[in-house]
């Protein structure tokens, strides 16, 4: 079995047994760190965590998001379930650029913020204080998750400090 076949099989299990079974949402960082760590330690497959940005086509801005890449192909299992699909429509579940579950919207992935989104962000700086606090929180979260994604030791600490159900060993047991 080649690496892509192994990844497909593993990611299908993650989607079925972790994401779908638990109705897991708002977990792009958790899933990306889990897939990366499991691939490296168990499957012996090198993948890359991307802490980047997505756009759902509904506005010009972007949202912080994490996904995995293997040979520049996207693995993203975190968008197909949301806690509220009105403001956040579901997206596709993707394994190695193949859509396995179609979402309500198609997201565009960016490794850095596109110019149009920077302009939208500047407009948002005139928002009410509660929106500005949320934006500041999301900026800090993005930077922190990017930093964690750069070191395996920090990813291990992320799992050690996670709620019990979200710890690496427990996610592995769900497979």
Q: Is the pLDDT of residue 85 over 60?
A: no
Q: Are 101 and 92 in contact (CB under 8 A)?
A: yes
- The whole-number average pLDDT for the span 46-63 is 92
- The band of 39, judged by pLDDT with boundaries at 50, 70 and 90, is very high
Residue (of 142, 95, 97) closest to 121 by Cα position: 142
Q: Are 70 and 45 in contact (CB under 8 A)?
A: yes
Give the pLDDT confidence score for residue 146 in this predicted structure.
97
Whole-number average pLDDT of the chain: 93
For the chain, the domains span 3-165
- Determine the Cα–Cα distance for residues 59 and 24; give it in Å rounded to an integer: 25
Structure-model confidence comparison of residues 135 and 77, the more confident one: 77
Residue (of 77, 90, 62, 66) closest to 149 by Cα position: 66
**CA-to-CA separations, 156 to 61, 95, 165, in angstroms, rounded:** 32, 24, 15
For residue 43 the two structure tokens come to 């499957």
Q: Is the pLDDT of residue 35 over 60?
A: yes
Give the pLDDT confidence score for residue 77 in this predicted structure.
97
- Determine the Cα–Cα distance for residues 57 and 38; give it in Å rounded to an integer: 32
């Amino acid at each position: 079995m080649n690496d892509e076949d192994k990844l497909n099989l593993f990611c299908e299990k993650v989607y079925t047994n972790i994401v779908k079974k638990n109705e897991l949402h708002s977990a792009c960082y958790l899933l990306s760190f889990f897939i990366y760590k499991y691939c490296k330690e168990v499957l012996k497959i090198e993948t890359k965590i991307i802490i980047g940005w997505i756009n759902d086509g509904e506005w010009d801005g972007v949202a912080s998001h994490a996904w995995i890449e293997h040979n520049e192909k996207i693995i993203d299992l975190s968008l197909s379930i949301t806690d509220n699909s009105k403001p956040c429509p579901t997206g596709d579940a993707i394994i190695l650029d193949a859509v396995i579950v179609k979402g309500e919207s198609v997201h565009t992935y960016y490794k850095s913020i596109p110019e149009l989104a920077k302009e939208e962000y500047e407009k948002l700086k005139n928002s009410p204080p509660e929106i500005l606090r949320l934006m500041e929180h999301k900026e800090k979260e993005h930077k922190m998750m990017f930093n964690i994604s750069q070191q395996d030791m920090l990813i291990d600490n992320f799992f050690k400090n996670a709620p019990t159900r979200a710890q690496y060993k427990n996610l592995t047991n769900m497979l």
